[in-house]
Amino acid sequence: MAALSARARATQRSRTARSAPRRPAPRAAPRCAAREGGGARREALVGANARAAAPPTARAHAARRISHPAPPRTHRLTPLALRAAVDPVDAVGNWKCNPESLGEALALARLVGAAARGAASDGAAGGVTVGVVPPAPFLAPVAECLREFGGGRVAVGAQDVHTERAGAYTGAASAPQLRSAGAQFALVGHSERRALFGDDDEAVNAKLRAALAAGLRAILCVGETLEERELGVTDAVVATQLAKGLAGVDAAQMAAGNVAIAYEPVWAIGTGRVATPAQAQLVHAAARSWLEGAYGRAVADSVVIQYGGSVTPEAVDELMACPDVDGVLVGGASLKAEAFARIATFRSPSTEAEAAAAAAAHAQRAAENAARAADAARANAAAVAASAGGGAPPVVSHATEVVPCGNVLGESPVWSVAEQCLYWVSSVGKELWRWDGASPAVRRGLPEVVGCCALVAGANSTALVALEHRGIGTFDMRTGAFSPIVDAWEPGQNTRPNDGRVDREGNFVIAGYNNIHRADALESSGVYCLPAEGGELVRIRDGNVRCSNATCFSPDGTTMYFCDTPQRRLLAYAYAPGAPLGEGRVVWEMPAGLAGGPDGAQTDAQGGVWMALSGAGRVSRVDPATGRVTHEIRLPCDMPTSVTVGGADLDTLYITTRKPDGGGLFAAPMPAGLRGLPEPEYGAPSTKQNAPDGAPAAALTTTTNGMFVDVA
Ligand code: PGA
């Protein structure tokens, strides 16, 4: 049985009205917005083979360890001869940094080539084009080998391209070089490049344009992290990556088929957790809708959108049956020739009976999902009604940006009464920030991803930081020195520290983030207390925290508020320092109509809990006694991440935000009658504020960098 080529699928899609409902076009038109592309005919840009295309105060603690739906399309065979000469590849095997030796790479290439040749002569895979993406050093020999064994049926691509054509860029491989070594296309923006090598959207766009300029076709990889999915911002993340990645790419380039999109949810890559067909279809349809808004319907219909993330022979048929899934980008399974060959010969429902059976299965799944969603909505409405208890609607006001710091993921604002300044972090941006409200904000790079920061008693320009691997310690912005207090975080588990805050007696309470971040993951993350006098972390709640947030304390210090963001509920726990947390009481549940989830939170002097609702573009104050939202601060971006109260009179709300549409520090006046409390400092015996250590903040050596200042 054979599958339809991506090109033919796209053509078919453009001929038949899709029955899957389209999402509305994205709000913001991308810079590259262009009208309908001219001819839909694709022109070869590439050669003949391209078809397939110290802790607080003076105390010195020794570093310690932790103690503890749409109906499927009917596919038909497309004879090879009818395919356009530059069909995009349907099944692409990304070998990543594998295998270890050239010999193994050539052995794999021979098997893939032979399988493609065999499939073509059987009539199977008649319309499928196949590509492999070996590591750069193997590109030329693999291309050569595939010419011999694959008869030109397997395209070869590069995993990355440099932005410049040539020059003094040690270690880089440019697009013209890769092309001359045999590459016909290139991946850009793979999530591993983004996460491990710092490729941001601007770099991805420059690479994509460099590839096109050199005559390589490009596969632009986009996709959300699990945190972003659970915050309900998947489509926004993908739309931003498309808008930025495709900036300057015109409709003619798109219509020519020079760019394919690979939707690769980060949580599915290499995890064995493949997106369900319904999940993939929704995002693919949203991406196509974005393309329609940018380039017009005809072009959007012609663009190939591949799915990537733990694709297996078992999963491929159902994925490829989705109307907007045109191909697959395969990592792990592409290293086994047999598995990859099966993926490349995915089976589509080619008869009426198969199509009907698939449609019935699809309808049943949709009905099950709808029933589950209705149950959840009922439960949610009941919880909201119970907690709201009637009453007046919240008082609404607005926040404005006060520091355009462009944080990838701003977090953890804390106001120091002693220093009269705000500290916060850019979590994955690995930075500690400090701002006195008047001079330019100051930032300094941290050695690792940081979960949160806290004040340190008696210190100046120094904060407690919780780092991904090095653990928890103090970081001096003047010297850049990190002094560990606890030198590891949940050793052996795939977690990192996330949200934390100092309780009212100077102890630091911190909880984790599960990097795999799914309900059934073995890895877990607990809640810990680092005693004010130092020592080891004391586990106060067992694991299964997926994304800790909203940690803050009632004015009397006997209640701790906490939220595991995917659960979308704020809980209150009876709290005594170091003692296990018992059962939590649900204080507030996020209404079903609001996207996202509760993120960082802070209490005010009147006992209200201010929560940043990431994904919902607002900070809400809930009265824990009634569960009622009394005030709302709206932001011009969707993703506020945390909040605190600061300023000389503790009457200003400071709100951190994150990309894609935020990133700045925002502020809003506290509503009349409400005030903040001094933020407790780690190591202080009580909430009493200690005097700083004497060294003036001005001792920071700084260099100007636009609107803020880097500590040298
Ligand atoms: P995976 O990788 O199939 O191993 O999840 C996909 C990719 O990274 O492209």
The whole-number pLDDT of residue 65 equals 37
pLDDT band with cut points at 50, 70 and 90 for residue 437: confident
pLDDT band with cut points at 50, 70 and 90 for residue 31: very low
* CA 386 from centre of chain: 34
Q: Whose CA is nearest to atom 6 of ligand 1?
A: 331
Atom of ligand 1 nearest to the CA of 332: 4
Q: Ramachandran region of residue 390, left (φ > 0), alpha (ψ -120 to 50) or beta? A: left
The whole-number pLDDT of residue 13 equals 55
Name the percent of the chain lying above pLDDT 70.
75
The whole-number pLDDT of residue 484 equals 93
Strand partners of residue 508: 502, 530
Kindly tell me if the per-residue pLDDT of 383 is higher than 90.
no
Q: Are strands 305-308 and 327-330 parallel, antiparallel or unpaired?
A: parallel
pLDDT band with cut points at 50, 70 and 90 for residue 345: confident
CA of 165 to the centre of ligand 1 (A): 28
Q: Do 160 and 186 meet the contact criterion of CB atoms below 8 Å apart?
A: yes
Q: How far is CA 185 from CA 58, 197, 654, in A?
A: 59, 20, 46
The whole-number pLDDT of residue 660 equals 81
Nearest partner of 441 among 614, 610, 652, 656, judged by Cα: 656
The whole-number pLDDT of residue 74 equals 28
What six digits make up the tokens of 343?
């993926």
pLDDT band with cut points at 50, 70 and 90 for residue 381: low
Nearest partner of 216 among 247, 256, 251, 243, judged by Cα: 256
Q: Is 306 in the pocket of ligand 1 (CB under 6 A)?
A: no
The whole-number pLDDT of residue 84 equals 29
Sheet holding 548-553, edge to edge: 548-553, 559-564, 569-574, 585-589
Say how far apart CA 71 and CA 356 lie, in whole Å: 8
Peptide bond into 660 cis (omega under 30): yes
Atom of ligand 1 nearest to the CA of 330: 3
Q: What is the pLDDT of residues 208-249, one digit of tens each?
A: 999 999 999 999 999 999 888 877 788 889 999 999 999 999
Say how far apart CA 385 and CA 449 lie, in whole Å: 39
**269 burial via Cβ count (<10 Å: 0-12, 13-18, 19+):** buried
Choice from 132, 264, 269 to test ligand 1 binding pocket (greatest atom count within 8 A of CB): 269
- Known active-site residue 490: no
What six digits make up the tokens of 162?
């440099």
Average pLDDT, the chain: 80
The whole-number pLDDT of residue 366 equals 52
Q: What is the pLDDT of residues 452-489, one digit of tens each?
A: 999 999 999 999 999 998 999 999 999 999 999 998 88
Question: Which residue in 75, 162, 190, 631 is the catalytic one?
Answer: 190
Peptide bond into 99 cis (omega under 30): yes
CA of 326 to the centre of ligand 1 (A): 16
What six digits make up the tokens of 379?
């439960």
Match 């009269």 to its residue by tokens.
Answer: 420
DSSP string, 339-366: HHHHHHT-----SHHHHHHHHHHHHHHH
Q: Are strands 217-222 and 259-263 parallel, antiparallel or unpaired?
A: parallel
Atom of ligand 1 nearest to the CA of 221: 9
Output the pTM of the full model.
Answer: 0.53
pLDDT band with cut points at 50, 70 and 90 for residue 524: low
Three-class HEC string of 551-605: EEECCCCCEEEEEEHHHCEEEEEECCCCCCCCCCEEEEECCCCCCCEEEEEEECC
Q: Ramachandran region of residue 118, left (φ > 0), alpha (ψ -120 to 50) or beta? A: alpha
Nearest partner of 89 among 261, 247, 246, 208, judged by Cα: 261
Say how far apart CA 183 and CA 138 lie, in whole Å: 11
Q: Which of 66-70, 436-440, 495-499 has the highest mean pLDDT?
A: 495-499
Say how far apart CA 434 and CA 394 lie, in whole Å: 32
Sheet holding 442-445, edge to edge: 410-416, 421-426, 431-435, 442-445, 708-711, 702-705
End-to-end CA distance of the chain: 63
Match 């460099």 to its residue by tokens.
Answer: 210
Q: Is 270 in the pocket of ligand 1 (CB under 6 A)?
A: yes
Three-class HEC string of 652-685: EEEEEEECCCCCCEEEEECCCCCCCCCCCCECCC
Say how far apart CA 337 and CA 343 lie, in whole Å: 10
Q: What is the pLDDT of residues 325-335, one digit of tens each?
A: 999 999 999 99
Q: What is the pLDDT of residues 279-309, one digit of tens each?
A: 999 999 999 999 999 999 889 998 999 999 9
Atom of ligand 1 nearest to the CA of 268: 5
Q: Do 575 and 585 meet the contact criterion of CB atoms below 8 Å apart?
A: no
Q: Whose CA is nearest to atom 2 of ligand 1?
A: 331
Q: Is 269 in the pocket of ligand 1 (CB under 6 A)?
A: yes
CA of 276 to the centre of ligand 1 (A): 15
Choice from 133, 194, 330 to test ligand 1 binding pocket (greatest atom count within 8 A of CB): 330
Q: Is 329 in the pocket of ligand 1 (CB under 6 A)?
A: yes
Between these two residues, 707 and 102, which has the higher pLDDT value? 102
Strand partners of residue 185: 157, 217
Mean pLDDT value of segment 512-535:
75
pLDDT band with cut points at 50, 70 and 90 for residue 191: very high
Q: Is 335 in the pocket of ligand 1 (CB under 6 A)?
A: no
Q: Is 133 in the pocket of ligand 1 (CB under 6 A)?
A: no
Question: Which residue in 192, 224, 228, 264 is the catalytic one?
Answer: 264
Nearest partner of 280 among 222, 344, 201, 208, judged by Cα: 222
* CA 634 from centre of chain: 23
Q: What is the pLDDT of residues 3-21, one digit of tens each?
A: 445 545 555 554 443 333 3
DSSP letter, residue 492: T
Mean pLDDT value of segment 594-613:
94
Kindly tell me if the per-residue pLDDT of 2 is higher than 60.
no
Kindly tell me if the per-residue pLDDT of 377 is higher than 80.
no
Q: Compute and round to an integer the Cα radius of gyration of the chain.
A: 27
CA of 364 to the centre of ligand 1 (A): 29
Q: Is 94 in the pocket of ligand 1 (CB under 6 A)?
A: yes
Say how far apart CA 428 and CA 661 lie, in whole Å: 16
The whole-number pLDDT of residue 208 equals 98
Q: What is the pLDDT of residues 32-90, one digit of tens each?
A: 222 222 222 222 212 222 222 233 332 333 333 343 323 233 222 222 222 222 345 57
Nearest partner of 537 among 497, 492, 584, 481, judged by Cα: 497
Q: Do 345 and 124 meet the contact criterion of CB atoms below 8 Å apart?
A: yes
Q: What is the pLDDT of residues 123-170, one digit of tens each?
A: 444 455 789 999 999 999 999 999 888 777 899 999 999 999 999 999
- Known active-site residue 468: no
Choice from 226, 307, 329 to test ligand 1 binding pocket (greatest atom count within 8 A of CB): 329
Say how far apart CA 584 and CA 44 lie, in whole Å: 63
